[in-house]
Amino acid sequence: MDNQFNQSNSILDKIITSKKTTEIEQFNPSEVVTALFKTLSSREEDVLRRRYGLLGKDKETLENIGTSYKVTRERIRQIENTAIHKIKKHKNFYNIISPIESTIFSVLEQHGGIMSEDSLLKTLLQAIGDNKINRQNILFIISVAFSGSS
């Protein structure tokens, strides 16, 4: 009887693992970021993409972005904060973020509930391709989805 229980447990484990692997493989961070940015003006989107390195380049400073727009770094900080607030308040925010949250929680659960940021990224990027844009998009999604107040 115990052997039968272990065998069914093993099959269930395989099904759950397969489902979680499929979730990770279907995760497209670029599409998620694009969906989140639909509520933003082109300027807000540009500021966020440059601040978080979402264009495949290094993250840019407030000062650097401010210089290109001929505004102060404080104004860029305000634009950044307003844009993130807009994203989080949008009616579809939860619908967009929910599958990613589920995927991240599944990965964490598989690893005992805690992982370093780098290990989490490696696991997520293994299935979708480890490149700078995917990495920066995931970090942006995590920072927006799991930051304090909305």
> Which amino acid, 75?
R
pTM of the predicted structure, to 2 decimals: 0.78
Distance CA 104, CA 101 (A): 5
DSSP state for residue 134 in the 8-state scheme: H
Model pLDDT, residue 56: 87
CATH number for 2-145: choose from 1.10.530.10, 3.40.50.720, 1.10.3720.10, 1.10.10.10: 1.10.10.10
pLDDT of residue 5: 47
Q: What is the mean pLDDT of each run of 10 residues along the chain (150 residues)?
A: 50 54 70 95 98 94 98 98 96 90 86 90 86 92 78
Q: How many CA atoms lie within 13 A of 104 on its CB side?
A: 20
Q: What is the pLDDT of residue 25?
A: 59
pLDDT for 12 equals: 52
d(CA 142, CA 115) in angstroms, rounded, equals 14
Measured between its terminal Cα atoms, the distance across the chain in Å is 51
